[in-house]
Amino acid sequence: MSNYDSAADDAPEAERPRVRSEYKFSHVTTQRYLPLPGKAPGWPFAEIGHWKIDVDASLDDWIEELKDWRREHLVRIGYDDAHYRRPELQWAQRNFVHAQMMVEDRYFYDPVAGRYTVDRYLDDLERRYGGIDSVLIWPVYPNIGVDDRNQFDLARDLPGGLDGLRGAVADFHRRGVRVFLPTMPWDHGTRDSGRRDWDCVAELVKAVGADGVNGDTYNGVPRAFFDACDAVGHPVVLQPESTISAEEALIWNVQSWGKKAPNEPVPPVAKFKWLEPRHMINYENRWGRDRNHDLQYIFFNGIGYNAWENIWGLWNQLTERDAETLRRIAAVEREFAPHFVSADWRPYARTLQHGVFASRFPHEGATVWSVVNRNESDLDGELIAVAHAHGQRYFDLWNGAELTPRVDGERAVLAFALERRGFGALLALPAGAARDGLDAFLARMQAMSARPLREYSAQWTSLPQTLVAIAPTAPAAAAPAGMVEIPAADFDFVVGGVQIEGQTWDGADVQYPWENSARRNHRRRLNLSRFFIDRTPVTNAQYLEFVRASGYVPRDAHNYLRDWIDGAPRAGWEHRPVTWVALEDARAYAHWAGKRLPREWEWQYAAQGGDGRRYPWGDDWRDDAVPAPNRGRRVRAPDPVDAHPAGASVFGVLDLVGNVWQWTDEYFDEHTRAAILRGGSSYQPQTSHWYFPQAYRLDQHGKLLLMAPGKDRSACIGFRCAMDAE
């Protein structure tokens, strides 16, 4: 680490003032970002007068004090860089573009063909923004908690089990992409695995060949995970979701996510990048729609990005402009990767234009500068002056051209163009030095930059969704046995999604056929025709009759009727709702019975009637109308379907709320499939607010992301059928 003491600016040491600034860094412990030069502590840039800020006035002294703080702080945390020197972990230092990916994404898994489609997923990212260096495969939230399967169970329930997941990981590796799997400390309300989390994680990542572990909600993944993976001969890169708080964790967390960099006229310096320049940060702003500031921040600091677009089933795609910006940033960072982890990097290299900021990344005699324009105006002309030596050559990496400097004594003054809120990159090569592949790289960047970023759309729109059609049944004149007649009516269909995240974003929840986009809250006056609905959910006995009569066997049988024994319900369970049936299984039963699944609004009208009541029996909750809540870590058997007559609706429909969730409609967009669940279940896992939320009220529904039947089936989801009337 001795090379931290080398010069941090182009100016000769003798020219630097050594007057100590007002900034003291000893208090900087839990912040993500370091105090900025030229800014009085606590003085917000958003106020009038930010144009008066003179960064250069205190810059050199600020940098020197920042170096002193780093030297002292590394001593305070007992810093050891051994893990950054381990060859098997050094891939993290080139991990510039990362993506969190939902397993339910239809680009990753084709539910019709029943196979993983990693190439399709990666081809799309390469086309849109140049591809990724690593991926976080996410099989857990937001579905976890719909039953008692824990985070490790859900990984094993992926199509093909761990063998299938291992194959998907191998497909990523074949394309040069590293793979992370998640772990979350808050999952203590579902099934107890009986083992320590880190031992379970070590076993899992070794079994599938994963390269890293993402610590969901962790402010630094505990060392126990690193040591457990090492102990089984499978060292991994740890990647906490949140910024490291216990700073000693920097020693074994060789990577992390960064969040919420202040969007101010002066771009901030990433604290942990400054402490250890080889520590790779992937900046994450999952809900951002305009990511220009994010991208300027990562380029200024020489760090990476988390190009997270599928956020729990809501598609927040990078706009065309941001995607193209990321493509160009990643191209520069990948080509000059050793520069961007240089111990001698210098933020705030001097520039000649107010609002233009540069960082200097030297490596083996050559120097790269990343440049960002924080102004709302295009700039063209002399923008930076650097130390010059005879014969040194200069290149505009962003635009793919060699530059002819104006030599001013010992300085080379460089002129180039920067778009408004744009980017630039420079390279200085010493006299006589050559770089393999430079001409090809310059040609590639020249072709990219031929179209300026301003010509790419910055407009964000949500993905349109489609409601899956349900074929009508043969109409019946009167209610068949076991069904209830629901009369025709005009009905105020009022419902909202209870998913934990997404706020009131356009694109959250679902898009009904009369809406032009998905949104969380819905209201529509509907004219409903007369129909029939099952008085109770389909029971185990009824489903057994279907299986024996039809010979039905699902193509994907994983978890199918998991609680049955030797092909039949357990003794005494005949009149309990059948569960561990996927949406496909429920549709197969309904078709055999000459019925169909109910539309969601039909289910709600049969439960609510015309007076808008909150529950089938009225507006006030009644404990005797539903099964007792289950707050344990294991799911128990559902109650018999006729055990709670007090829960009947005005039409006499039973078991609508609080026993098992019930399948209704399916929606899909280009990336995600999801089913609407109604009624809630008795299972209420404790210890975390991240578990799948219940929706007992009739103006609320649940949204379950769909992937494959084996993962979608649940101990807490059943169904009832409907039929059309003459």
290 and 190 share one domain: yes
Instruction: Give the domain-ending residue among 316, 337, 358.
Output: 337
- Whether the pLDDT of residue 122 is over 50: the answer is yes
- Lowest mean pLDDT segment, chosen from 3-7, 378-382, 702-706: 3-7
Q: Which residues contact 77 (CB under 8 A, 6 or more apart)?
A: 247, 248, 250, 251
At 31 the pLDDT is 61
Distance separating alpha carbons of residues 56 and 48, to the nearest angstrom? 20
In the predicted structure, residue 41 carries a pLDDT above the cut 60: no
Q: Note the pLDDT of residue 172.
A: 98
- Which residues, 6+ apart, have CB-to-CB distance to 705 below 8 Å? 102, 104, 142, 143, 312, 313, 672, 673, 674
Is residue 29 domain-shared with residue 162, that is, in the same domain?
no
150 and 56 in a common domain: no
Indicate whether 522 and 637 sit together in one domain. yes
Sequence-distant (6+) residues with CB within 8 A of 354 are 51, 375
Q: Chain-wide mean pLDDT for the chain?
A: 93
For residue 718, being part of any structural domain is answered with: yes
Structure tokens at 275: 């402490």
Task: State yes or no: pLDDT of 443 exceeds 60.
Answer: yes
Please, which pLDDT band fits residue 52 given cuts at 50, 70 and 90?
A: low
322 CB burial (10 A radius; 0-12, 13-18, 19+): buried
Are 287 and 309 in contact by the 8 Å Cβ rule? The answer is no
Last residue of a domain, one of 337, 370, 405: 337
Q: pLDDT digit string (tens) for 601-658?
A: 999 999 999 999 999 999 999 999 999 999 999 999 999 999 999 999 999 999 999 9
**How is residue 33 written in tokens?**
């970002």
Residue 538 located in a structural domain: yes
Q: Is residue 2 over pLDDT 70?
A: no
Question: Do 153 and 217 sit in the same domain of this protein?
Answer: yes
Task: Give the CATH number for residue 605.
Answer: 3.90.1580.10
E-strand stretches of 114-260: 115-116, 134-138, 178-183, 212-215, 237-240, 255-259
pLDDT in tens, 551-576: 999 999 999 999 999 999 999 999 99
Higher pLDDT, 509 or 56: 509
CA dist., res. 383 & res. 93, Å (int): 30
Predicted confidence at residue 5, as pLDDT, reads 30
Query: Averaged over 70-76, what is the pLDDT?
Result: 95
Q: Is the pTM of this model over 0.75?
A: yes
Q: Is 507 left (phi over 0), alpha (psi -120 to 50) or beta?
A: left
Q: How confident is the model at residue 357 (pLDDT cuts 50, 70, 90)?
A: very high
How do residues 101-121 score in pLDDT, each as one tens digit?
Answer: 999 999 999 999 999 999 999
Structure token pair of residue 55:
């960064």
Average pLDDT over residues 272-276: 96
Q: How far apart are CA 657 and CA 663, in angstroms?
A: 13
Same domain assignment for residues 55 and 113 = no
For residues 202 and 63, membership in a common domain is answered with no
**How many structural domains compose the chain?**
3
Query: Is the pLDDT score of 277 beyond 50?
Result: yes
Residue that is last in its domain, among 304, 337, 370? 337
Flag whether pLDDT at 15 surpasses 80. Answer: no
Flag whether 434 is in a domain.
Answer: no
Residue bearing tokens 């729609």: 289
Rg of the chain in Å (alpha carbons): 30
Q: Are residues 102 and 209 in the same domain?
A: yes
**Are the C-beta atoms of residues 644 and 724 closer than 8 Å to each other?**
no
Is residue 236 in a domain? yes
Is 385 inside any structural domain?
A: no
To the nearest whole percent, how much of the chain has pLDDT over 70?
Answer: 93
Model pLDDT, residue 11: 37
Same domain? For 34 and 130 the reply is no
Give the CATH number, domain containing residue 314. 3.20.20.80
Q: What is the pLDDT of residues 313-348, one digit of tens each?
A: 999 999 999 999 999 999 999 999 999 999 999 999
Do residues 593 and 689 share a domain?
yes
For residues 61 and 139, membership in a common domain is answered with: no
pLDDT score recorded for residue 49 = 61
The reply to whether 362 falls in a domain is no
Task: Please report which confidence band the pLDDT of residue 714 belongs to, taking 50, 70 and 90 as the band edges.
Answer: very high
Band of pLDDT at residue 50, cut at 50, 70 and 90: low
The answer to whether residue 393 sits within a structural domain is no
Residues 72 and 97 in one domain: no
Q: What is the pLDDT of residues 150-181, one digit of tens each?
A: 999 999 999 999 999 999 999 999 999 999 99
What pLDDT digit, counting tens, does each position of 648-707 carry? 999 999 999 999 999 999 999 999 999 999 999 999 999 999 999 999 999 999 999 999
Is-contact 677 717, C-beta < 8 A? Answer: yes
Q: Is residue 580 part of a domain?
A: yes
Which residue range forms the structural domain that includes residue 173?
88-337
Strands (E), 330-431: 346-349, 356-363, 366-373, 379-387, 393-396, 401-403, 406-408, 411-418, 423-429
Determine the Cα angle at 217 with ends 215 and 221, to 5°. Answer: 35
How far apart CA 331 and CA 121 sit, in angstroms, is 20
